[in-house]
Structure 1
Amino acid sequence: MRTNIYLVRHAESPFRYGEERERGISEAGAQAAKRVADLLRMEGIDVVVTSPYARALLTVQPLAEQLKLPIHSYEGLHERFVEGDHQVSWEAKKQAVKKSFEDPDYAMDGGESTREAQQRVIPILMDLLDTYHGKRIVIGTHGNIMTVMMNYYDQSYGYDFWEQTTMPDIYRMTFEGNQLLQIVRLWN
């Protein structure tokens, strides 16, 4: 029996340094979250889980409300910090992300490597596949963590993929047991 995981990258969220956990989504992001709900409600979603960060939760909340499903928050699904505790330029962050997909053990001082992020999130994904076998599961997530999850199964999902994703974005990963069969983009 196949299990579908719908990775929903959060909607547009104004960046504010130091407010990773609390920052929400913009008005345009709220409208896009409603479109996410409209697109996914016909998929027969059974379970909604999310990163604990507000922007991920707010992106999947309209869907959960429409379907009258609870939202399960997983601390381990939080975004990956590439730069550690110090503020660096956007260009430096992008270069760190690029290098982290070229070398899965690379991390800026205080940051998290691709391998470390996978060791954090893949057990959660495996647990969801086991617990909700044969179901359709939405995961409210982040661009970097979404790419890290996909990269675990297919290394062609790396920096170039991450850089072209949108806010929001939706990818359906279809599994047979714990084996990935395909990834399909649903957002356009």
Structure 2
Amino acid sequence: MSDINDGSLNEVEKETVLYFVRHAHSAYEHGRELERRLSDSGKAEASAVCRRLEQENIEVFVSSPYRRAVDTIAPLAEYAGKTIELHDALRERLVSGKQDLGPEGFAEAKRRCYEDLDYCPPGGESSRQARARALPVIRQLLREHAGKRIAVGTHGDVLTLMLGSWDEQYGYSFWQGLSMPDAYRVRFEGEAFAGAERIRYTNIL
């Protein structure tokens, strides 16, 4: 058997690292998902997580179009001298639609969405639907930026659903345990999931 190859195998198996960054705190305003900005504490938290990620040498920046997701990774993109590419398919999953369910109703709808991937709350979106629109963006990034380090400004549900598509341990309990902000380093060999780990950071006000 020859040990010689043309390099194509190495290209396919090249490790690509995605940094999924869940947005920092943003005060809830029903019906203002797109425009909601970070709270004062959220801005401080975003700065803290970005200071931690500066050492990761991230080269590519993409985000949900929602303001809170963009603003969370904006300091990091500015530090790297890069622009942020927006993808509507990475937007947060709607649970309540036009109706404000209140904290208890929202929590119950969210739980049902994870228990049954096809459950669709009135005016909302099922887990399967949200996952199906977000994953093609990730696959595209893995193909177009193979071997690079990519930051993805995202949301709790979308982050959980994407990770859950590669490893079923990421579900409702994982979503409940997420903080604002939160960051995960996710490794891929080619387009194959190779593991995820939480990135710790310190918020010094």
Given the two structures, how large is their TM-score scaled by the length of structure 1? 0.97
Greater Rg by CA: 2
Structure 1 Cα separation of the partners of residues 105 and 192 of structure 2? 35
Runs of 4+ in 1 over 2 A off after TM superposition: none
Residues 59-113 of structure 1, C-alpha deviations (whole Å, 9 max, x = no match): 0000001110111111111100012221111222212221111111111112111
Structure 1 Cα separation of the partners of residues 122 and 33 of structure 2? 18
2:106 partner amino acid = K
Structure 1 Cα separation of the partners of residues 157 and 200 of structure 2? 17
Task: Using the TM superposition, give the Cα deviation of residue 154 of structure 1 relative to its aligned residue in structure 2, in angstroms.
Answer: 1.1
- Matching of residue 86 in structure 1 with residue 99 in structure 2: yes
2:169 to 138, 156, 166: 156
- Matching of residue 124 in structure 1 with residue 137 in structure 2: yes
RMSD value, Cα? 0.9
1:183 partner amino acid = A
The answer (yes or no) to whether the contact 2:43–2:72 under 8 Å persists in 1 is yes
Structure 1 Cα separation of the partners of residues 106 and 141 of structure 2? 30
Match in the other structure for 1:133: 146
Structure 2 Cα separation of the partners of residues 92 and 151 of structure 1? 24
Unaligned runs of 5+ in 2: 1-13
Structure 2 Cα separation of the partners of residues 82 and 178 of structure 1? 29
Structure 2 Cα separation of the partners of residues 86 and 117 of structure 1? 19
